[in-house]
Amino acid sequence: MADHYEVLGVGREATTDEIKKAYRRLARELHPDVNPGADASERFKLVTHAYDVLSDPQQRQQYDLGPQAGFGGGGGANFGGFGDIFETFFGGGTSRGPRSRRERGQDALVRVEVDLDEIIFGTTRDVEVDTAVLCETCNGSCCAPGTQPVTCDICRGSGQIQRAVRSLLGNVMTSSPCGTCRGYGTVIPNPCPTCQGQGRVRARRTIPVDIPAGVDTGLRLQLPSQGEVGPAGGPNGDLYLEIKVRHHDVFSRNGDDLLATLEVQMTDAILGTRTTLKTLDGEVAVEIKPGTQSAEVITIKDRGVTRLRGNGRGDLKIGVQVTTPSKLSHKEQDLIKQFAGARRSAPPTLTHFQQGLFQKLRDRFLNI
């Protein structure tokens, strides 16, 4: 009896991959469809049998031990190795059976605009969505009332069509989805007139949404199972809400802090004063200390935006801008002159260039 290793042309230390590659090369060369000679046919049988033995670890071990281990080396080929060569030629192909008409629906994306004051504590919004909903006529069955799907006559309910394909290894059975039922195994002779056999229709529906405090522009909120219903009444996809915070004329946001600018008259900055300011969530008392300068920042704790992740709120930071009156009455001018005379201030002199108020405010806001 010929040695299996010699038949495949490999050494006894050959790996499983090397044995497989040798078999594939010889199988293509010796198959009767390619080489119809009698010698080639006999060699093909030997090659196949050798591969069946050496590709199985247990049989190979017994073969290497010799006849004393109880391995006779006889018997017909079990053709277990043909799965590998079929995969090489055809990429596999087992029947998967009919597929379901029910599929998951697509996700939906809706953009929602909210005001700055709404995100401090959160808000509730009714969102209108143009989406696919379950057909009420057929309740997702896709069939006209009183009817139901019937078994496909072509594939007999399997959803697959098997065909014999002639190849290098002879006739091979392959499977593909049935073209009549599109792989479902059933056909719908009487589709629902409302949804045309889809099990769903387009409709506009209103969804109440809780928008949490602290959201910001660009953030997306996920609402599971609030997207489109799937074909044939399949499970809903998800709904995503993309947040956009509208511009506010007074307040702006820096992280969890709110920023604003307070214009203070020169006399109030010199003498100091108290005032009440209207913020996004109520009034707050602010003290202007005597001698306050432009670009100073007044911080009011816990009057900013509620933190999205964590506890508490940010701060309200107010940048001071001291304003100088441009028009004065004669009496006001006299008073200012008296003030200037009493101060005996030095004449204006050149100093190092100072950055602008707004730049200083920006730097202070970011560094506080």
What pLDDT digit, counting tens, does each position of 96-130 carry?
A: 678 899 999 999 999 999 999 999 989 999 999 99
Does the residue 303 lie in any domain? Answer: yes
Q: Is residue 177 domain-resident? A: no
Does residue 167 lie in a domain region? no
**Residues 6+ away with beta carbon under 8 Å from 142:** 101, 149, 188, 191, 192, 195, 197, 198, 199, 232
> Is the residue at 164 inside a domain?
no
Q: Rounded to the nearest 5°, which phi and psi values hold at 184?
A: -80, -25
Out of 196, 221, 245, a domain closes at: 245
217 and 263, same domain (yes or no): no
Q: What is the pLDDT of residue 38?
A: 66
Note the pLDDT tens digit of each residue in 173-215.
778 888 889 999 999 999 999 999 999 999 999 999 999 999 9
Asked whether residue 212 is assigned to any structural domain, the reply reads yes
Q: What is the mean pLDDT of the chain?
A: 83
Q: Which residue has the tokens 């909903």?
A: 133
The pLDDT of residue 29 is above 60: yes
Q: How many domains does the chain have?
A: 3
- Give me the pLDDT at residue 278, please: 93
9-30 mean pLDDT: 86
Higher pLDDT, 162 or 241: 241
Say what the pLDDT of residue 309 is. Answer: 83
Task: Decide if pLDDT at 368 tops 60.
Answer: no
Q: Do residues 363 and 257 both lie within one domain?
A: yes
Does 71 have pLDDT greater than 80? no
Predicted pLDDT at 365: 58
Same structural domain for residues 290 and 209? Answer: no
Reported as a pLDDT band with limits 50, 70 and 90, residue 329 is confident
DSSP state of 14: -
Question: Can you point out the beta strands (E) in 257-333?
Answer: 257-265, 273-279, 282-288, 297-300, 316-323
Average confidence (pLDDT) over 12-40: 80
Instruction: Give me the helices (H) in the chain, please.
Output: 4-8, 16-30, 38-54, 57-65, 82-90, 118-121, 266-271, 330-343, 357-367
End residue of a domain, out of 245, 260, 279: 245
Residue 295 pLDDT exceeds 60: yes
Give pLDDT, residue 170: 63
| Beta strands at 150-151 and 220-223: parallel, antiparallel or unpaired | unpaired
181 annotated to a ligand binding site: yes
Residue 32 lies in a domain: yes
For residues 223 and 116, membership in a common domain is answered with yes
Q: Provide the domain limits for residue 338.
A: 252-367
CA-nearest of 330, 302, 297 to 120 is: 302
367 — pLDDT class (breaks 50, 70, 90): low
Cβ atoms of residues 8 and 50 within 8 Å: yes
What's the pLDDT score for residue 67? Answer: 47
Domain membership of residue 155 (yes or no) is no
Task: Answer yes or no: do 78 and 125 share one domain.
Answer: no
- Tell the burial category of 85 from Cβ atoms under 10 Å away from its Cβ (0-12, 13-18, 19+): buried
Q: Residue 99: inside a domain, yes or no?
A: no
Phi, psi of 363 (to 5 degrees): -65, -40
Query: What is the sign, positive or negative, of the torsion defined by CA atoms of 339, 341, 344, 350?
Result: positive
**CA dist., res. 24 & res. 77, Å (int):** 16
The domain boundary, picked from 204, 225, 245, lies at: 245
Query: Does residue 142 have a known ligand-binding role?
Result: no
- In sequence order, the 6+-apart residues with CB closer than 8 A to the CB of 347 are none
Span 301-318, average pLDDT: 91
Residues 68-81, mean pLDDT to the nearest whole number:
40
The answer to whether residues 241 and 258 belong to one domain is no
For range 341-365, the mean pLDDT = 61
The answer to whether residues 11 and 124 belong to one domain is no
- Note the pLDDT of residue 240: 94
The yes-or-no verdict on residue 223 having pLDDT over 90 is yes
Is 143 part of any known ligand binding site? no
- Structure tokens of 223? 């609402």
pLDDT digits (tens, 9 = 90+) for 231-286: 999 999 999 999 999 999 999 999 999 999 999 999 899 999 999 999 998 999 99
Please report, for the domain that includes residue 116, its CATH number. 2.60.260.20
Query: What is the value of pTM for the model shown?
Result: 0.61
198 with 118, same domain: the answer is yes
C-alpha 114/C-alpha 212 separation (Å) is: 11
Strand-pair category, 200-211 with 108-114:
unpaired
225 plus 132 within the same structural domain? yes
- Quickly tell me which residue has 């409709």 as its tokens: 203
DSSP of 37-51, one letter per residue? -HHHHHHHHHHHHHH
Q: Are residues 347 and 267 in the same domain?
A: yes
Q: How confident is the model at residue 44 (pLDDT cuts 50, 70, 90)?
A: confident
102: helix, coil or strand?
Answer: coil
Q: Are residues 226 and 266 in the same domain?
A: no
Confidence of residue 77 (pLDDT cuts 50, 70, 90): very low
Is 60 exceeded by the pLDDT of residue 94? no
* 59 and 42 both lie in a single domain: yes
pLDDT at 366: 59
